Every structure is written in C-alpha cells, then in structure tokens.
Amino acid sequence: MLTNSNIQASPDVFNRAALMNIGFLEALKLHDFDCFIFHDVDLLPLDTRQPYTCFQAPTHLGAYMSKFSYQMPYDGFFGGAVALSTENIKQMNGFSNLFYGWGGEDDDTLNRVLWRNLTVHRHAQGIGKSHMIKHEKDEGNPTNPNR
C-alpha cells in the first residue's frame, strides 16, 4: 500500500525522471515486474478500450490529450502516460536525472527509446484520448529552460 510521502531531496525543484528511476528500481526489489506505467496524475483516460499494459514496443498512452484538442502537439511528443516493459527501461538505460523543473524529460525519454532503435506504439486516436485536468501551475517547479 502506497502512503503519502515526500522523498525529494535538494535541489528543491521537482525531478520527475529521477523519481521514475527510483520507483522502477524499488518496485523490482519487491517483485519481478515486467510492465511499468508512468502516468501524469492530472491525465484521465477517456476510453476503456485503451489497454494499460505493456507490449514489445514502448507504448504512448497519453498521445491525444484534451489540452491539445486531442491531437499530437508535435511529432516527438511522448508525454502524459507511457507503458514500458522492464526490458525497454533497461535497454534505454532508464530516464535522465538531468531534468529539473517542468518539462523535457518526456522528450528525452523518446530520444532514449529511438537511440535503442525501439519503435513507439500509439493506440488509434479514438481509443487513446485522455482528458487533462486543469490546475494551477506549481510555482515551485518552473518550466525547465532546456526543454
């Protein structure tokens, strides 16, 4: 059972990719999981036909968001929600710990996937739609200037 806890250390700015690496490594200490879903908390899937499971290829579950009128905002978009097998994560050497603040780590994740010559799977637009819940921007996590 997960509890509400803050395990972030200095610097005080959020580092999502570092937390995903920690979550991956800690989860594998508990069980030999073969699938990991990394999902923004403000994103809700709109179609129950979209499978939340891993395939051989890394799968972009958050490709078509309400925030972007259910269109891909740019060709290299890989944010919101992704399904990665344990093998995929090992092949791409995890996530970069260099992205502090908001943004950039998802694009870097796609670069790591492509660097290993892995293909990306996206469900059909009608099935892969998600609603992004509107919320205030966290002033403590500025936009990453390197994004």
- For residue 29, being part of any structural domain is answered with no
> Would you say residue 127 lies in a domain?
yes
62-91 confidence digits (pLDDT tens): 899 999 999 999 988 998 999 999 999 999
pLDDT digits (tens, 9 = 90+) for 50-69: 999 999 999 999 899 999 99
Residue 67 lies in a domain: yes
Domains in the chain, number: 1
The residue-averaged pLDDT of 21-38 equals 96
In the predicted structure, residue 5 carries a pLDDT above the cut 50: no
Residue 1 belongs to a domain: no
Residue 4, domain member (yes or no):
no
Is 141 part of any domain? no
- Give, to the nearest 10 degrees, the angle between helix 16-30 and helix 105-115: 60
Residue the block writes with tokens 């097998």: 85
Residue numbers of the domain that contains 86: 34-132
pLDDT tens sequence across 91-131: 999 998 887 877 778 889 999 999 999 999 998 888 989 99
Closest C-alpha to 61, from 79, 47, 81, 76: 81
CB-count burial class (<10 Å; 0-12, 13-18, 19+) for 45? middle
The pLDDT value given to residue 144: 57
28 in any annotated domain: no
Query: Is 80 a member of any domain?
Result: yes
Give CA separation, 33 vs 24, 37, 140, in Å.
Answer: 9, 11, 33
Instruction: Report the CATH number that the domain containing residue 126 is assigned in CATH.
Output: 3.90.550.10
